[in-house]
Amino acid sequence: MFFLKERLAEIAKLIKKGDRVADIGTDHAYLPIFLRQQEISPAVLACDIRALPLKSAMKNVSESGVTGIGFRLCDGLSGVEKSEVDTVVIAGMGGECIAGILARSWAENSKKRFLLQPMNSPEELRRYLCERYTLISETAVIDGRPYTIMEVLAEKCPIEDKEKFIYCGKLNPEKREDKEFLSKQYARLKKCADSIKSVPKEADKYEEYYAAARCIENFLR
């Protein structure tokens, strides 16, 4: 039996039984193998932009003995048809990279579910999602360090407090993992602000970082 590390295991928990899944940036295909072994998904597409990781994924799938996994060498969702999937996983990339994949795809207004796990810059991903998608839920998981996982519906949703949405999402500061993730983001943004505080030409950027850090700080209180 194949077991996932905490980050991917949390994503697997969010996948509805019976959903067809596309795993974008599959790398070793650990998630697709698990979904088929556990009979969570009847069909999974393992997608990667690079040939070498996809070759490794094929080898791992072959050795696992599972069936029902297809392979696509493609950039993001460019090799996946909307009709082929119910849920799309995009994990292990930067927030801006994930936003770019969504922007170049058929995703917007498709009403498909997306499970997104940015490795950095979650605020840039939320900034893109803002009013284009519905953030259903968000949770942090500790896997060496804290990561955030966003459950998203590709359907427009108005946002009342955009600043809070962009920097805090739907994380709950009363949960230990969420608080740890938010505290890490606060420290990162404050450090960015402090590093350019005395640089006149970076005044606008300083104000942006400072406001972001203050938003998270207030949310944590």
CATH number of 6-159: 3.40.50.150
Looking at residue 74, what is its pLDDT? 97
Looking at residue 3, what is its pLDDT? 79
**Which pTM was predicted?**
0.95
Going from N- to C-terminal start, the domains of the chain cover 6-159, 172-221
Q: Both tokens of residue 100?
A: 């770019």
Q: What angle do CA 199, 203, 206 make, to 5 degrees?
A: 95
Q: Provide the angle, in degrees to the nearest 10, between the axes of the packed helices 122-129 and 95-103.
A: 30
Looking at residue 99, what is its pLDDT? 98
- pLDDT < 50 positions in the chain: none
